Structure 1
């Protein structure tokens, strides 16, 4: 996994949970089902089957790949609309090209994040660059949907381009954990992502046998998703690994531990940690729209069909070969 790293984690600031913090228990561990998205790239639906009360403010998360494409195989998504939430695309391996009808976009690659606030609505495309289509290669990433509260659902669209070098890097007291803080705050350290809904997003790499206990805001929920390898969650050591999601209960800290032995495909236990302040509003999600009421969903579809969510730029080139 070539996402941003360091040779010696001990040069980084070290994070510890405050003494006496209650470690969050594990409420459930679920397995993400597999499916296809866009033009046919494989995904795992990380939050499938988990009740919204444990996810809020998150809506969904797809693990894209990990897949080693042959020449001509890489796929993306065609132009499509969004309204009412934010999409967070984090690329671990490979390259993706983004563009939207509001003028945002760019190329993101190993360790980069594209943060798009859809707000009142736009059209969007995600696709591999032509050179990746021609050559093939490894592709692996995540797309997370973060809900917006009712007061922010119709704000103007916004685009954040978060380069790998901007991510805040931290470690555990013994250096066994590499903590990539993409958004939010941990122990007074802030990530570069600016969020309308308060959240924390971390890509954690744990060396075999290592453990980390992180302080966690008591008013946030807490989720962990295994990207690669095997380990356990919580002080009780609940096993989980690649393609599995952990739902934590309440508390002021959370613990993740890597197994002593990892499989041959990964050196470390790779985990995404998510926390957010629940919005606690009615949510209606259908297709590319996340609103508060059925009437707002209907209006979103009508606005899209009428061209009020934007139009594909006339000069938009084909971003990859068909």
Structure 2
């Protein structure tokens, strides 16, 4: 798993030890297993938020886990051109390569720990696809895509694109060096990630060594969602078992406890977790297809604007990659 790493985690800043008498470790309110599905032109995904009420996800809306899958030559697939309005897509690539282009003039390539953060806002068209070289050779694809809701006051902000390199993530470890924590956005124990957000949220990818435990300080006003990308372990104050493809929705508190099983499968030697949390927006949500709005009338307007070409125009040819 070639997401950004370090040779010696002991050189990194360390999390503070949480005081047992002053920290409320959150319990797992709900544990769900993501069903399998297909996205875009047919690439396999797990639907990480399936069957979880939107009230428990707020400010997030949707989460796909792409892979991990080793594709044969000709099998890597992407998405066709499609619209978005009213939210943000956060695409995190752990392994493999994804090219992006949008109708706002943005384009880029993300791989091995990079993040593409696209604010659709008032509306945008975009396409995501593996480069031709990966299609020809085949290879491993592994990543995630998270949809972050925008509050009503920012639903129609101008589109924005953030190209976040894996090397920009804030890196830290636990007091005993048993985990590598990559902060992509928000703040953990005073260490801020590079992602610029419209509402307060925190995103992190955590790699936990077999048998190690992470006690993570967590904002008490945020929700807390922990998705297992690989491996097995436990989550919550009650040590609820969790394994790849499962989401732990936590209850209230100001700390998270995540532990890797002492023995892991040979092909996934460590517990890999994607941790998400944010301040709930607490506004009505009208969600259909590629649009996340507040009312059904706003959804109807989004479809009308898309059909009228007001969300952007697809370029005649795909831009060459220059990064």
TM-score calculated relative to the size of structure 1: 0.98
How far apart, CA to CA, are the structure 2 residues paired with 1:123 and 1:250? 38
Residue in structure 1 matched with residue 316 of structure 2 by the alignment: 314
Match of 1:111 among 113, 129, 140: 113
Conserved in 2, the CA contact under 8 Å of 1:87 and 1:143?
yes
**Residue in 2 that maps onto 1:129:** 131
The answer to whether structure 1 residue 16 and structure 2 residue 16 are counterparts is yes
* Residue ranges of structure 2 left out of the alignment (5+ in a row): none
Matched, 1:184 2:206: no
Partner Cα separation in structure 2 for residue 224 and residue 316 of structure 1: 36
State the Cα deviation string for residues 37-95 of structure 1 (Å, max 9, x = none). Answer: 00000000000000111100000100011111111110000000000000000000000
CA distance in 2, matches of 1:266, 1:130: 28
Aligned mate of 2:277, from 275, 299, 311: 275
Give the drift of 1:318: 8.9
Looking at structure 2, the residues matched to 210 and 317 of structure 1 have their Cα atoms a distance apart, in angstroms, of 45
Match of 2:299 among 293, 297, 300: 297
Match for residue 215 of structure 1? 217
Structure 1 residues 231-246: aligned runs within 5 Å: 231-246=233-248
* Matched residue SS, 1:77: coil
Label 1:317 to 1:105 Cα distance change in 2 as closer, same or farther (>3 A).
closer
Given that residues 83 and 124 in structure 2 are in contact (C-alpha distance below 8 angstroms), is that contact kept between their aligned partners in structure 1? yes
What does the per-residue CA deviation read over 1:138-187, in whole Å, with 9 as the maximum and x for residues that have no partner? 00100000000000000000000000110110100000010010000011
4+ residue runs of structure 1 moved beyond 4 angstroms?
Answer: none
Q: CA deviation at 1:197?
A: 1.7
2:176 to 174, 177, 188: 174
TM-fit CA distance, 1:21:
1.2
Is the 8 Å Cα contact of residues 102 and 310 (structure 1) preserved in structure 2?
A: yes
CA contact (8 A) 1:55 1:221 kept: yes
Query: Shift of the alpha carbon at 1:266?
Result: 1.0
8 Å Cα contact 1:14/1:173 also seen in 2: yes
Instruction: Indicate the residue corresponding to 1:257 in structure 2.
Output: 259
Decide which of 142, 153, 156 is 2:155's aligned counterpart.
153
Separation in 1 of the partners of 2:294 and 2:18? Answer: 37
Q: Which residue of 1 aligns with 2:85?
A: 83
User: What CA distance in whole angstroms lies between the structure 2 residues aligned with 1:265 and 1:149?
Assistant: 41
Tell me the alpha carbon deviations over residues 111-154 of structure 1, each in whole angstroms, 9 at most, x when there is no partner. 00000000000100000000000000000100000000000000
Compute the displacement of 1:235 (Å): 2.0
| Structure 2 length-normalised TM | 0.97
Counterpart contact for 2:97–2:110, Cα < 8 Å: yes
Q: Deviations 1:262-303 (Å, cap 9, x if unpaired)?
A: 011112100011101000000011000000000000000000
Question: Given the alignment, which residue of 17, 40, 48 partners 2:42?
Answer: 40
Whether the aligned pair in 1 keeps the contact of 2:17 and 2:175 (CA below 8 Å) is: no
Of 162, 165, 168, 2:167 maps to: 165
Q: CA RMSD in A?
A: 1.0
Measure, in 2, the Cα distance between the counterparts of 1:240 and 1:16: 25
1:55-94 aligned at under 5 Å gives the runs 55-94=57-96
**TM-fit CA distance, 1:314:** 2.5
Per-residue CA distance 1:17-38 (angstroms, 9 max, x = gap)? 5421111111111100000000
Give the unaligned 5+ runs of structure 1: none
1:6 aligns to what?
Answer: 6
Who is 1:193 aligned against?
A: 195
Give the Cα separation in 2 of the matches to 1:316 and 1:97.
Answer: 11
Take 1:106 and 1:145, find their aligned partners in 2: how far apart are those partners?
19
Is residue 17–residue 253 contact of structure 1 (8 Å, CA) maintained in 2? no
